Structure 1
Amino acid sequence: MTLTWNGRRREMYFQDGPWFDLAPDRGPAEVLATYDNGLPAAVVAPFGRGAVGVVGPHPEASPDWYSDSGLPVPADVRADLTQDLVDRVMQAGRAG
């Protein structure tokens, strides 16, 4: 599936993942990625004294996930989006 992560279009493995309903009265949340319909696909939000990151698709998917499912392997499959999610959760946790 194609989505927009940090302003850039990317292909990502997807298997019945959720979207996230962000209630404005529940505090700030950073949307890292959106589906083509504009709904949040990856979010970092404050939680307790730290932060939590949630993602619907699978940025951690390696090429074998695609080939095992009979899907073509996108040219841009790498761990950078997984690392971005972890980095942003850690940064948000330190800020909270």
Structure 2
Amino acid sequence: IVQLKQPLFGISFLVCSGKGDSLDRGGSNKLFTQLTSVPEPEKRMYSKEFQGKLRGTDMLGKRLGIELEILKFLDGHLKKLPGEWSDRRNRLDRDE
């Protein structure tokens, strides 16, 4: 985490946890605290809590809204990035 959180790499993080699971919440809060010890963390670091005691992939498909948050995160921090690597279509099929 120490290296990956550095602004030079431009990596964004979304940390999700269940409100009802104190162990998971504690671990998530600790991770988020470590991640946000860089300049301007609000541009790349996010933390979201969801109802219930679920953790990890058990949170998926439970109508908690986590999927929408993940999609918004990926849309803003991956899909909209410039660069050819994000567009895997054949060069001849592109509108450019």
TM-score bucket of the superposed structures, by smaller chain: 0.3 to 0.5
Greater fraction of residues in helix: 2
In the superposition, the TM-score normalised over structure 1's length comes to 0.34
In the superposition, the TM-score normalised over structure 2's length comes to 0.34
Q: Which has the larger radius of gyration?
A: 2
Greater fraction of residues in strand: 1
